[in-house]
Amino acid sequence: MSNNKALQDGDAAKEVKQEAEVKPTAAPQTQSEAIPSDAEELRALVRLLIAKERKTLVEDAAVETARIQRQKQRNATAINNFHKRNTKQGRCVHEKGGAHRNKKISDPSVYMHRYIDGTFVIKCQGCNFAWKEGDTKRYITRFGVKQPNVTGKSWLDALEMLSRSTNTMTSTEIPMPEAPRPIIPLPGGGAEEAGE
């Protein structure tokens, strides 16, 4: 009997223990159910925003990568063109007819070009090199950057070539000639030039 009762007591104790064990786990469940639904919505919203942000970041990275790639390609092309042009300008004889010209007759393929700001350059029709005042045989300065002169010809050399060239400035490049001053008749019968 006593054993039986003890068993019963034991079972009862177990049950109590089980209840006690169950309670702590049950408690948070009731608590989480008690969390207001807007908090859940907020969490969902945050998750959504993070996902969106992540997607944007990935997209931005892809756009940036493509942009860098295009820039690299442009730079490579520019550098390649720069070297090609330098090679051409370095080899150019700045003579009409180039390498196949009649070497007995010299007619430099250079001409004077006047910019709108009044500055002059001497350009070669063959290689498009433009000499500017101050250019030495060794160096030219463009956009404030001192660079090697690939032509080996200075501004003075360019002027000398220009003096031997049959080229003339084109009409748009010729500075406007000074207009003759109008003659204003004087009351006395004489005339004087305006501004004098």
Footprint of Zn ion on this chain (CB under 5 A)?
Answer: 92, 94, 124, 126-127
Q: How far is the CB of 74 from Zn ion (least distance, A)?
A: 26
- Pick the closer one to Zn ion by CB: 93 or 173: 93
Contact criterion met (CB below 8 Å) for 92 and 151: yes
- Pick the closer one to Zn ion by CB: 121 or 127: 127
- Pick the closer one to Zn ion by CB: 125 or 136: 125
Closest CA to 127 of 78, 166, 90, 79: 90
Closest CA to 161 of 143, 135, 140, 141: 135
Give the HSE-up count for residue 43: Cα atoms under 13 Å, Cβ half-sphere: 5
Helix ranges (H only) for 35-165 are 37-91, 155-164
Rounded Cα–Cα distance for residues 13 and 19 (Å) = 10
Q: How far is the CB of 92 from Zn ion (least distance, A)?
A: 3
- Pick the closer one to Zn ion by CB: 94 or 96: 94
Q: How far is the CB of 140 from Zn ion (least distance, A)?
A: 14
Q: How far is the CB of 141 from Zn ion (least distance, A)?
A: 19
